[in-house]
Amino acid sequence: MSSEVIDSNPYSRLMALKRMGIVNNYEQIRNFSVAVVGVGGVGSVAAEMLTRCGIGRLLLYDYDTVELANMNRLFFRPEQAGMTKTDAAVQTLLQINPDVILESYTINITTMDGFNKFVESLKRQVMSHTRGGSTGVDLVLSCVDNYEARMVVNQACNELGQTWMESGVSEDAVSGHIQLLIPGETACFACAPPLVVASGIDERTLKREGVCAASLPTTMGIVAGVLVQNALKYLLQFGLVSKYLGYSALKDFFPTMEMRPNPQCSNEACLDRQKEYLEQKPARDAAKAAAELESAESEASIPLHSDNIWNISVVEDHEPVSSVSTAKQENLPDGLLWELPTADTLETTLSEEILAENGDLDDLQRQLDALNAS
Amino acid sequence: MSSEVIDSNPYSRLMALKRMGIVNNYEQIRNFSVAVVGVGGVGSVAAEMLTRCGIGRLLLYDYDTVELANMNRLFFRPEQAGMTKTDAAVQTLLQINPDVILESYTINITTMDGFNKFVESLKRQVMSHTRGGSTGVDLVLSCVDNYEARMVVNQACNELGQTWMESGVSEDAVSGHIQLLIPGETACFACAPPLVVASGIDERTLKREGVCAASLPTTMGIVAGVLVQNALKYLLQFGLVSKYLGYSALKDFFPTMEMRPNPQCSNEACLDRQKEYLEQKPARDAAKAAAELESAESEASIPLHSDNIWNISVVEDHEPVSSVSTAKQENLPDGLLWELPTADTLETTLSEEILAENGDLDDLQRQLDALNAS
């Protein structure tokens, strides 16, 4: 991956991230394998972004075909109508960047056979270097559009101890979210009770009744953008990876929160990962103390960068999110005043993200009312 | 524009926005003309989004050619290297949606000749319906990458009284912004002193020295997404159009603020528009009072939608932004608690957006220090 600044180098603007001090190791992106599950409005754009970033290896999963009705989202072209989404995606992505190793799986992961193939493909070691963990991929990005498929990704990742990111866009097209799921450490997709979806609504009725969910290329593009941006931050270890980031298009509101795992989670693999995570606590605490000691020593010798008025810095994973606003206020020049949240995180056992999946607000409220009444 | 739910209808998912109650008049998008100035990392994606949304008419401006070094952003394909960006964009967009009227202008708007052609093209009335104003376009989206071109768009829009939206991505690729500029009503691009850019740094030195700015398809895609999302909200009159929305990728921080016009603005056309805006205040106040009276009467007869727990609603343009958080807290179900800003707007005469343009924080601080010391 060359950093030479010539018009013919597709990586010059990416390698410039090193010169700018944003990413220390950009060329390592060639070593990473990322799985994109669901190649629809979000997944296809996420795959294109990763491809243009020069990701090492991309695994694509979908069983659907391209339709003209998909043309209101980015990526697919009208002449690809009728092709499988995986074939169409490989066609386009290969053309954009032949350096990327593409593997496509035209399978339905919610079937028993599909699930087994999915798990086997995640375990296969192809690249020499991974971000840690025992699988053959560094990160799984879930870009599916239904609850059942999310639960399948959740099951596979819990079993494998595989870190993944979930994404979703509401059926009214004006909200979305991404979420980071680290088995045992953060809430899994089954940890928070999926009140709405588990109550018997079949999402497939939408198509059967001759109606369809709304979608917008803007919302899909924004969700794909924040998903891959956080994937890059996670893989290349710069900035702060969001645990949960929501997006409300009507008001340009971007809530963040964190969700802890549920000790009563119904998913047994999740409970196993939680147990392992707790058992590893002494080792983590020791490593953290050592890192803090080292950090304190280096701070004593090197003065704080007091002239960084925008407070842009590489943030340690363990730094509490609430310190963002405090730090920002202290470093603003005279005459500028920020009115920020004193804390922008929220810990809750009720998953907003699962509630937000449901586009029909009235129906959701009726179900909550019924639960409260019973 | 058909709302029929069949696989062959490219507009079914867009027209579903009507059934979902998000947009009352989606099909009106066929009547709008939007100018996209600069068809680079942000502008090309913005143009594709508008094309897929079925915009009526799209005017594209750029004089640059596609290079392989552009392949780390979405949209252009390697085989288009060497073509002008306008030609390549028209080729791709026509293929995606032949319903859109495309006009491309391969001109440099910062030359005298280019500026005149730019202004004439904006004035030309082609579509029968516009969103108001005396020009032939409903909105101008500035997606240029330098200060000089932004000042030219500003000049043209001030002269024409043309509402426009500005966008930008920092040279370190990890922050960006969009801004709504309504001549006379909000700050124009010259209203806030551009401390950094006007201090003698020639942005073109970047290329001359064999170095280049960093860029990421994620940041560009997110900025294009929020730009076009706000353009859709503005054109189709739903939701709340952001006056300014920033994006900091390292911390997923999205600040908002409003900027009032500067009565001492150096731009004469801006001062003319400010004068007109003040003169029209009595008429605006009367219209606002009438609208509030009507709103109060309709609220008395129709009960509030008390079961809308997510508080998703169409927001009037004149509703204060600070009411967002209050309304949200009231409507959350038991067990959920939001920690939100009490106000997320900031009025200041110092343009954060212009400061954010500068990727070198140390240099920026040195300049501010020098100003304070003098």
The structure tokens listed for A362 are 């009235």
Determine contact: A370 vs chain B, CB below 8 A: no
List phi, psi (to 5°) of A65: -110, 155
- C-alpha triplet B326, B329, B331: angle, nearest 5°: 110
Whole-number Å distance between alpha carbons of A106 and A93: 16
Q: Which residue in A has a C-alpha nearest to residue B10's C-alpha? A: A69
pLDDT at position B20 is 85
- CA dihedral for B262, B266, B267, B271, sign (positive or negative): positive
The active-site residue out of B143, B191, B212, B270 is B212
Chain B, window 93-112: residues with a beta carbon less than 8 angstroms from a chain A beta carbon: 95-97
- Of B101 and A1, the one with more pLDDT: B101
Q: What is the DSSP letter of B332?
A: P
Residue B364's pLDDT is 47
- Which is more confidently placed, B78 or A317? B78
CB distance from A205 to chain B under 8 Å?
Answer: no
Which residues in chain A are contacts of B217 at CB distance < 8 A?
48-49, 52-53, 228
pLDDT on residue A193? 54
Inform me whether the C-beta atom of residue A222 falls under 8 Å from chain B C-beta atoms.
Answer: yes
For position B331, what pLDDT does the model report?
Answer: 39
Return the structure tokens found at B143. 């997606």
Distance from CA of B279 to the nearest CA of A (A): 30
| Predicted confidence (pLDDT) per residue in A206-233, tens digit | 444 566 889 999 999 999 999 999 999 9
Whether residue A214 and residue B14 make contact (CB cut-off 8 A), yes or no, is yes
B34 touches chain A (CB under 8 A): no
B262's CB contacts (< 8 A; 6+ apart) are B187, B191, B192, B270, B349
Whole-angstrom Cα distance, residue B172 to residue A219? 24
**Mean local confidence (pLDDT), A110-139:** 89
Which CA distances in Å does B130 have to A314, B104, B136, B236, B317?
46, 20, 7, 12, 19
Distances (CA, A) of A307 to A300, A315, B105, B362: 17, 17, 43, 6
Chain A residues within 8 A of B12 when measuring between CB atoms: 69, 212
| Cα–Cα distance for residue pair B285/B291, rounded to 1 Å | 10
Q: What is the pLDDT of residue B259?
A: 84
Picking from A49, A81, A315, the nearest residue to B221 by CB comes out as: A49
**Stated length of chain B:** 374
Cβ–Cβ of B361/A74 closer than 8 Å?
Answer: no
pLDDT above 80: residue A34? yes
A357 vs A163, higher pLDDT: A163
Task: Calculate the alpha carbon distances from A201 to A122, A266, A353, A369 in Å.
Answer: 31, 20, 17, 16
Structure tokens at A330: 């202290």
Residue A335, pLDDT > 50, answer no
Supply the pLDDT for residue B357: 41
Nearest to B165 by CA among B148, B147, B183: B183
Beta bridge partners of A177: A168, A246
Interface probe, candidates B17, B18, B52, chain A, greatest A C-beta count within 10 A:
B52
Q: Across-strand partners of B103?
A: B59
Q: Give the residue from A8, A9, A19, A20 with the most B CB atoms within 10 Å of its CB, the best one to mutate.
A: A20
Tokens 């579903």 sit at which residue? B16
Give the closest-approach CA distance of A18 to chain B in angstroms: 9
Separation between Cα atoms, residue A304 and residue A280, nearest integer Å = 33
User: Distance between CA B299 and CA B301 in Å, rounded?
Assistant: 5
Q: Closest-CA residue in chain A for B69?
A: A10
Among A8, A69, A313, select the one facing B10 at the smallest CB separation: A69
pLDDT at A295: 82
Residues 6+ apart with CB under 8 A from B281: none
Which residues in chain B have their CB less than 8 angstroms from residue A74's CB?
45, 48-49, 52, 74
In the block, which residue shows the tokens 């309504």?
A: B182
Q: Are B54 and B30 in contact (CB under 8 A)?
A: yes
Burial readout A157-175 (b: 16 or more C-beta within 10 A, e: otherwise): bbbbbbbbbbbbbbbbbbb
Contact A254/B255, CB-based, under 8 Å? no
The pLDDT of residue A126:
86
B-chain residues near A71 (CB < 8 A): 10, 52, 96-97
Comparing B146 with A328, which gets the higher pLDDT? B146
As annotated, the active-site residues of A are 212
Residues of A in contact with B221 (CB under 8 A): 45, 49, 221-222, 224-225
The whole-number pLDDT of residue B127 equals: 81
Displacement of CA A192 from its chain's centroid (Å): 18
Chain A residues close to B13, C-beta within 8 Å: 69, 72-73, 173, 212-215
Best A12, A219, A362, A367 member to test B by mutation, with max B CBs in 10 Å, is A12
Q: What is the pLDDT along chain B (374 residues), one digit of tens a residue?
A: 888 888 889 999 999 999 888 999 999 999 999 999 999 999 999 999 999 999 999 999 999 999 999 999 999 999 999 999 999 999 999 999 999 999 999 999 999 999 999 999 999 988 876 666 689 999 999 999 998 999 999 999 999 999 999 999 998 999 999 999 999 999 999 997 543 333 333 455 444 556 688 999 999 999 999 999 999 999 999 999 999 999 999 999 999 888 899 999 999 999 999 999 999 999 999 999 998 988 888 766 654 444 444 434 333 333 333 222 223 333 333 322 222 222 222 333 233 433 344 344 455 455 556 555 54
A170: left (phi over 0), alpha (psi -120 to 50) or beta: beta
Q: Do B172 and A22 touch (CB under 8 A)?
A: yes
Please indicate whether residue B188 is annotated as part of the active site: no
Helices (H), ranges, A141-240: 147-160, 205-208, 217-236
Alpha helices (runs of H) in A161-311, residue ranges in sequence order: 205-208, 217-236, 268-279, 281-301
Whether A20 contacts chain B with CB within 8 A: yes
